[in-house]
Structure 1
């Protein structure tokens, strides 16, 4: 198959830092390209070539300071080519325009969250209008698939799901560090935005420190709102929580980040479609505590390969689970052993690519 992947207009592929969606695009494309012709069109930025070849992947980067300008530049390149499948990631508003240019190609919308099919990004009515021009709508979890079917029942026959994966070579366990005489490091990775629940985590660490005085917090991730980062710093200072804000961490450095902690926490407060950070932490041998939210329970099975928090708006509920990791080393080891096995069996990029191309090759 000749497969075209149209990335969002914000970050180049592969992303230098952050860019979870762009990272997923690149990792999936690498596996697909072993058997299929893959072209990625993404945003150009200074310092990046307009065209690059990565193995059997061709990446074209075009400028565009707005969605409209970016899409126009994408069309200028792709209109003279032919593709069997066109995958559009996270941009349903692109679908009608692409359909007019490619009336006979199979068009797939790959969604990584509910963000771009719901207010304030769009209305449900507008999203439904856009989705009718797609042949396939693919979510990254059963939870997202269920949301799509419930919200857009007229499009339910098009909806599929494919779990994301992890680079099992890059993200590997290290020996659990000895707790005696050193800090108990709690990790968070993700965008610094309200829905990620960082204030809940900071307050949870305050409670944890009553039992584990050497507990501290390390946060990787950036924000487009400096005032929110300042709010988090002030909250941590007010509660006297030792916290390190690392800012954006490069993809190459993320395995080292996961290996630097004793516990990883994902305190998402709103629907988390998949939660790639949890899979990466699990692959890295770091015990995970996460919200029982969205697609996260499809990855983490409570007391088997991690710990889930049902009352995820409650700092004390998170503190209770974090303390299990901090005080029961035997339990923590058992969780991380099973987590690594589960990730190897269920969440590799090879498996993601196999399932996705199986869907694309289907005549349905």
Structure 2
């Protein structure tokens, strides 16, 4: 098959500035391109060529300001069997008009089918024109099918994945080495490390974790809460909310570390240095990919009961889901319990690692997507 992936206009591929969609596209395409003709289309970036080939994958990048018209011109001249369009249902009609013989698979990574984003007529037209819809979680799937029940036969959950070779758990030689190296570099040798990875945004809830810190410190005076992220992908500028977080953190200088934007290639070793991973999302999270990364690194997970996050947690086995997600003390109680018991952390980490190996490798994602593409191509 000849397959094109169309990324959003937000970030380039490969994911040199981060982005779950960009990581998803690039990781899957590298595997699928071993047997199929694969092109990835994304926006330009000064560090990347406008066109290049990496391995078997062709990359084409267009000016952000002319992105959609450039895409439409390109696909009208190519005979793709399948176009995998990411997260832009409002583009479907124009893509179909430009390439009427091509089957369109729409992947939905956020709540893109809300009334605020899509009218009834537009939503119905989009779902009638696509051959298949893949969603990153059952939660996101329901945001489509609850509103448009006729589309149930087209909608399928395909969970994202993670590079199992890149993330090395503590009990492996590479994991131990990465843990020791990073802890030495950051002065965390004898610390119990709580890790947050994500945008420093109110909807992600880092302020809730900072508010939980006094109760954690009282039981674990050697704790360090590490926040990795910035206000937006690759943007280390400080807005009012980030300033607020820094002010809160400054109250506990011996217990809080902020690390700004980290390139995806450097993320695995920061997971390896940690003891507990926390996702404190306050919004209806589609399903944050950091859950897969934490499992791959062998970390127990504490996550909020928001959106799709609970779908990858087997309660008490690879993590805990916080129902009272706005309450800092709910996080403190669970985190304290985990920090008290190294054996529990290890057993949960090993269960999570085995789960991610079984269910969430990029090879699994490839198999699931190819099944969708093949179904689409037959229609």
TM-score greater than 0.5 by the shorter chain: yes
Give the direction of change, closer, same or farther, for the CA distance of 1:103–1:312 in structure 2 (3 Å limit): same
Aligned to 1:276: 289
Match of 2:258, SS state, is strand
Match of 2:283, SS state, is coil
Specify which of 262, 276, 294 is matched with residue 249 of structure 1. 262
Does the alignment pair 1:212 with 2:220?
A: yes
Shift of 1:187: 0.6
Does the alignment pair 1:191 with 2:175?
A: no
Shift of 1:154: 3.2
Answer yes or no: is the 8 Å Cα contact 2:114–2:143 preserved in 1: no
Specify which of 236, 239, 246 is matched with residue 249 of structure 2. 236
Query: Please, what TM-score do these two structures have when normalized by structure 2?
Result: 0.89
Shift of 1:126: 4.2
Aligned to 2:129: 133
Answer yes or no: is the 8 Å Cα contact 1:202–1:241 preserved in 2: no
Question: How far apart, CA to CA, are the structure 2 residues paired with 1:303 and 1:186?
Answer: 18
Question: How far apart, CA to CA, are the structure 2 residues paired with 1:31 and 1:343?
Answer: 18
Answer yes or no: is the 8 Å Cα contact 2:137–2:157 preserved in 1: yes
Aligned to 1:167: 163
Match of 1:151, SS state, is coil
Does the alignment pair 1:83 with 2:96?
A: no
The alignment yields a C-alpha RMSD, in angstroms, of 2.1
Does the alignment pair 1:322 with 2:335?
A: yes
Q: Number of aligned residue pairs: give it.
A: 360
Aligned to 2:147: 151
Shift of 1:199: 1.1
Does the alignment pair 1:117 with 2:113?
A: yes
Aligned to 2:325: 312
**Unaligned ranges ≥5, structure 1:** none
**Unaligned ranges ≥5, structure 2:** 233-237
Shift of 1:327: 0.2
Question: How far apart, CA to CA, are the structure 1 residues paired with 2:214 and 2:73?
Answer: 54
Shift of 1:289: 0.9
Question: How far apart, CA to CA, are the structure 2 residues paired with 1:143 and 1:279?
Answer: 17
Match of 1:157, SS state, is coil
Question: How far apart, CA to CA, are the structure 1 residues paired with 2:121 and 2:195?
Answer: 39
Question: How far apart, CA to CA, are the structure 2 residues paired with 1:296 and 1:108?
Answer: 24
Q: How does 1:23-42 map to 2 (within 5 A)?
A: 23-42=23-42
Aligned to 2:358: 345
Query: Please, what TM-score do these two structures have when normalized by structure 1?
Result: 0.93
Question: How far apart, CA to CA, are the structure 2 residues paired with 1:241 and 1:105?
Answer: 57
Q: Deviations over 1:258-310 (max 9, x none)?
A: 01211110011122222210110111122211113322222111111112212
Q: How does 1:46-85 map to 2 (within 5 A)?
A: 46-65=46-65, 69-85=66-82
Does 2-11 or 211-220 show the bigger shift? Answer: 211-220
Does 297-306 or 165-174 show the bigger shift? Answer: 297-306
Question: How far apart, CA to CA, are the structure 1 residues paired with 2:194 and 2:117?
Answer: 33
Does 147-156 or 137-146 show the bigger shift? Answer: 147-156
